[in-house]
Amino acid sequence: MRGPLAAALFALVPGTLSAQGNDAAYTAKIKEYTTDPMFLTELVDHLPASAKVPSPQKVLGYVVGTPDRLTYAKDVHRYFRELAKASPRVKVFTMGTTEEGREQVLVVISDEANLARLDRLKEITARLGDPRGLREAEAKALVAEGKPIYWSTGAMHSPETGSPEMLMELGYRLAVEETPFIQAIRRNSLVLFTPVLEVDGRERMVDVYRYRKDNPSRTPPSLLYWGHYVAHDNNRDGLGLALKQSQNVIKAALEWHPTVIHDLHESVPFLYTSTGTGPYNAWLDPIVVDEWHLLAYHEIEEMTKRGVPGVWTHGFYDGWAPNYMFYAANGHNAIGRFYETFGNGGADTKERTVRGQSERTWFRPNPPLPKVKWSIRNNVNLQQSALLLAMKFVADNKDRFLSNFYLKSRRSIEKPMNEGPAAYVIPGDEPRAAGVSDLLAALQIQGIEAHRTTAAVKVKERTKDDKGKNVEKEVAFPSGSYVVRLDQPYSRLADMLLDTQWYNVNDPRPYDDTGWTLGPLHDVKTVRVADTSILEAPMAKLPSGWRAPGTLTGAGAVFVVDNRAEGQVASLRYRLKDASFEAAEEGFEAGGRKFGPGALVVGGADRAAVERAARDLSLSAVALDAAPRVKTHKIGVPRVAIVHDWLNTQNEGWWRIAFDRYAVPYDYVSVHVLRDTPDLRARWDVILIPPTGGASIPRQIAGIQTSDAVPWAPSDKYPNLGGPDQTDDMRGGIGFDGLAHLRRFVDQGGALVAAASSALIPVRTGIVEAVDVTEARGLQARGSVLRASIVDRASPIAYGYGETLAVYFNQAPVFEAGPAVALGGAARFAEIFGPSTPGRVSGRGGPKDPDIPQGRPYVAPPETPPGPPQTIADIPEEILDFVRNQLPPEDRLPRVVAKFAKKDDLWVSGMLDKGEELAEKPAVIDCPVGKGHVVLFANNPMWRWQTHGSHALVFNTLLNWDHLDAGRPAPHKP
Ligand SMILES: [Zn+2]
């Protein structure tokens, strides 16, 4: 205890002093490891003693917050299991395992009476969370009987190390401390902990930290991998739920119906408690926004009263995108919140300088100190104190928070009758059964219900006519249409995911993606229906995990499988790897059905196997006696490599997830393998370089440059280092050798795919010609959904696609392709060949009349070319002779498969400003090089398991890797 203030605070909480003694040695260490008393509160400045319940020190051998000590997740879990063994107030459940087989746990702490009736308490929150048919009086009784659930989650971000340590001590404190403060939390709420969310990353981080401490003179490895697939983006999986970690969280959330999920992060000083700058997510119930503020300002006031500097809110993060883990709460009528506290990236005690955030401003009247000596114990103290204050506030106001939870759930159900809309409908004649199934799966995994109509339905929709007048028109949906009703508990999340987003460019700079509309991203038509009569339509609820069963009809030994640009087409190819596959290069009719280009003709396959595969993969096939008469080419089973570098692995992880989910095999190799393998063609047919961290080309060539070797591999001492790839030395990049090997690989007929930031590698190093990346000066398209037009529908890359496709694009790169590049780009071309005066010069006649100089015969000026040249024939004759040597031959010019749409058609969802800088620029380019191809994407086709509609752009490239010239227009011969 310190000073009169603490005494005064105790006076506010009568009976805080109890007969319970403290663990004197532990308490002394808390004080020793705290760098200044101002970073301590009366809530955590001591540890109560217990004769039978072990403190963290008793199990681990050290006090929480000991300098230079971090605890492995497995030991954190061991501690909680020891705690549960000794205390009747603690239980430990398993939430499931990660991709690498490590366990995630859920610790439940409350008093003995609550733990004895956990099932009943869970039943109550479930009923309040789905109050359909619940009467007000019943709800009131349930609120009175129930307990709010406060779930804290730690160490999602592996370099943010303090929270698992803190949660161990807090778990002990909550289990044993006999103050009214702690008793109230135990009696009036259930406390849940997941001390380590990213358990794979935590073990790697502790090893990296130990390596650093053991080898102070050596360069330590960076934490290159956290989880198996992604690093920091594990907190951007709230929409795709592709990671096991996220799936375990959503499963637990749907089982427990927590009132609050509170995620513990570390970045800014000293304690930022979340609200956000806005724009806030526009689909949430305003009540939850008020609750964010209520809790944040309660913590700020209480911490400030205790003399703790630098506890603040507002000025960090926006509140817009629902892709964070805590949307397991916000998206489900609960409260999602987070802290950012000050971490030191390990457990060191260091002098820290705080720049920007030490300035006082309206939302930070009590800013962090500009200079401070900071320890992990300070971090533990601040997290633990503020979290206790928040948990106590929720426990003290338990009826208020449970009533709000019930009210938010009820208002979600009433949404169609209030703000609307009533539903989203996927028309039943949508031919992409796998695409529809994937979209519905993305909703169902969130607990959102989907239905299917059993009769044709007509609804009235208000729309505007040509003159802008409101008119009503009838919209018909066939029987078998899918309906996402918005009179269900998670209607707001459904609306959030299926609606379009508008992000004003004048708002604060977005924290992450600005658009995520799932229908367009999945290339599935979704119709927003306001007419509530849709809710009366006859329909049946789809069971969870439902997929449209694929079909095989007809008889015969040749099978034709429809290609609708679904990733499952690639799954089929690899699943039936011994069968022969051909791709149709044109549309045709067979078995009474029409097929588009890219349909697969399968021979040498067992009917039962085809039928089973079609059914599982939601594909549609017909059996014929003989192969259809259509031009085809062979589709093999290409050998594929996915490449990563040793600088940053995150974004390629989203590509690996997609490949793994579709069961398309690949070798996962580093740039060092490219550097060290002269004959890449001998090993692979297709090499994919997904987007990287965006290091400069020189850095990608050079890689890490230090004087001593940097290992990323397990050893006896550091068993968790390494994985998913490993090396004894991370130094060095792709190197000039690697580039030369890649070029040779393509020359010899291989296909190289590079997307988004990685597209710069082949472009800037000259592996491809007549493609450039231009500087967009004003474009603002930060993580937006934009429309692309498929402009070369005969290209195998476009097989199965319609005329347009919505793609994910994040600001760069903006491509130019074609002969104009050799002339200095489109802008330079316009400068040279356009009129030097826009419009016309001042002179006789009207604005469209030619200018006629006087005193000589009139000669018409040269025609202004309509735009930059697309082919060599488009180049004005008078300069062709001068530039011919700078152009590849016509049949080696890049083939633009998809372009961004015209300016007015470009926006689908999210932020877009100065779209003219991107409009009509290439999105997908196929560059013939030597005997092979380089395929470039401006969009990221495999992003966060959200862009299913674009997946087939990659898989079409891969399956047709040796026939990408199919359908290419014959070169112009003058
Ligand atoms: Zn974080």
896 vs 692 pLDDT, higher one: 896
Ligand 1 midpoint to CA 440 (Å): 30
DSSP class of 522: T
Q: What is the pLDDT of residues 154-192, one digit of tens each?
A: 999 999 999 999 999 999 999 999 999 999 999 999 999
Q: How far is the CA of 383 from the centre of ligand 1 (A)?
A: 14
CA of 266 to the centre of ligand 1 (A): 6
Report the alpha-carbon distance of residue 83 to residue 326 in Å, rounded: 27
DSSP 455-521: S-EEEEEEEE-TTS-EEEEEEEE-TT-EEEESSSTTHHHHHHHHS--B--TTSSPPSS-S---HHHH
Helix (H, G, I), strand (E, B) or coil at 688: strand
pLDDT value of residue 778: 96
- Encode pLDDT of 105-152 as tens digits: 999 999 999 999 999 999 999 999 999 999 999 999 999 999 999 999
Q: For residue 30, give the H/E element and its range.
A: helix 24-33
* pLDDT over threshold 50, residue 226: yes
Question: What's the token pair of residue 204?
Answer: 């790697």
Q: How far is the CA of 912 from the centre of ligand 1 (A)?
A: 27
Reported as a pLDDT band with limits 50, 70 and 90, residue 9 is low
Ligand 1 mean position, distance from CA 254 (Å):
24
Distance CA 739, CA 12 (A): 70
Ligand 1 centroid–CA 265 distance in Å is 4
Ligand 1 centroid distance, CA of 153 (Å)? 11
Question: Mean of the pLDDT values across residues 377-403?
Answer: 98
Contact (CB, 8 A) for 704 and 647: yes
Q: What is the pLDDT of residues 908-921, one digit of tens each?
A: 999 999 999 999 99
- Report whether pLDDT(7) > 60: no
The average pLDDT across 355-370 equals 97
Which single residue is written with the structure tokens 């799966």?
Answer: 441
What is the residue-averaged pLDDT of the chain? Answer: 95
Instruction: Specify the pLDDT at position 462.
Output: 87
Range from 466-480, 524-538, 814-828, 888-902 carrying the lowest mean pLDDT: 814-828
| The pLDDT of residue 15 is above 50 | no
Distance separating alpha carbons of residues 376 and 374, to the nearest angstrom: 7
- pLDDT of 610 strictly over 70: yes
336 C-alpha to center of ligand 1: Å?
A: 15
Alpha carbon of 267 to ligand 1 centroid (Å): 7
pLDDT tier for residue 17 given thresholds of 50, 70 and 90: very low
Look at 629 and 835; give whichever has higher pLDDT. 629
Tell me the mean pLDDT in the region 91-104.
98
* 211 Cα to the center of ligand 1, angstroms: 22
CA 235 to ligand 1 centroid distance, Å: 8
pLDDT per position as a tens digit, 769-827 = 999 999 899 999 999 999 999 999 999 999 999 999 999 999 999 999 998 887 788 77
Per-residue confidence (pLDDT) for residue 5, from 0 to 100: 53
* CA–CA distances in Å: residue 337 to residues 325, 406, 749, 780, 812: 10, 19, 52, 28, 31
Task: Tell me what pLDDT residue 465 has.
Answer: 86
Give mean pLDDT, residues 632-646: 98
Read off the pLDDT band of 18 (50, 70, 90): low
Ligand 1 centroid–CA 151 distance in Å is: 17
The CA distances from residue 344 to 162, 379, 875, in Å, are 9, 9, 59
Structure-token pair, residue 419: 């703000």
Q: Which whole-number Å values give the CA distances from 826 to 45, 523, 790, 866, 882, in the listed order? A: 67, 31, 21, 12, 17
Q: pLDDT tens-digit profile of 513-534?
A: 999 999 999 999 999 999 999 9
- CA 51, 54, 58, 62 dihedral sign is negative
Average pLDDT over residues 491-501: 98
> Whole-angstrom Cα distance, residue 486 to residue 735?
55
Ligand 1 centroid distance, CA of 326 (Å): 12
Cα 668 to ligand 1 centroid, rounded to whole Å: 27
Q: Say what the pLDDT of residue 548 is.
A: 95
Distance between Cα 352 and ligand 1 center (Å): 19
Report pLDDT for 974.
Answer: 44
Q: What's the full length of the chain, in residues? A: 974
Mean pLDDT of 222-230: 97
Rounded distance from Cα 344 to ligand 1 centre (Å): 13
Tell me how far the alpha carbon of residue 192 lies from the centroid of ligand 1, in angstroms: 20
pLDDT band at 971; cut points 50, 70, 90: low
How many CB atoms are closer than 10 A to CB 777?
7
SS3 238: coil
Arithmetic mean of pLDDT, 239-247: 98
Ligand 1 mean position to 729 CA, how many Å? 28
State residue 16's pLDDT score: 44
Residue 339 Cα to ligand 1 midpoint, Å, equals: 9
pLDDT reported for residue 972? 54
What is the predicted pLDDT for the residue at 464?
Answer: 86
Report CA(338)–ligand 1 centroid distance (Å): 9
Q: Which two tokens stand for residue 206?
A: 């502790």
From ligand 1's centre to the CA of 365, what distance in Å? 24
Query: Cα separation of 705 and 192, whole Å?
Result: 45
- Measured in Å, residue 340 CA sits from the centre of ligand 1 at 7
Could you give the percent of the chain with pLDDT greater than 90? 89
> How does pLDDT run across 933-968, given as a tens digit for each residue?
999 999 999 999 999 999 999 999 999 999 999 999
- Kindly report which listed range (289-293, 464-468, 656-660, 756-760) carries the lowest average pLDDT score: 464-468
What is the value of pTM for the model shown? 0.95
pLDDT confidence band for 11 (50 / 70 / 90): very low
- Contact status, residue 457 vs residue 480, Cβ threshold 8 Å: no
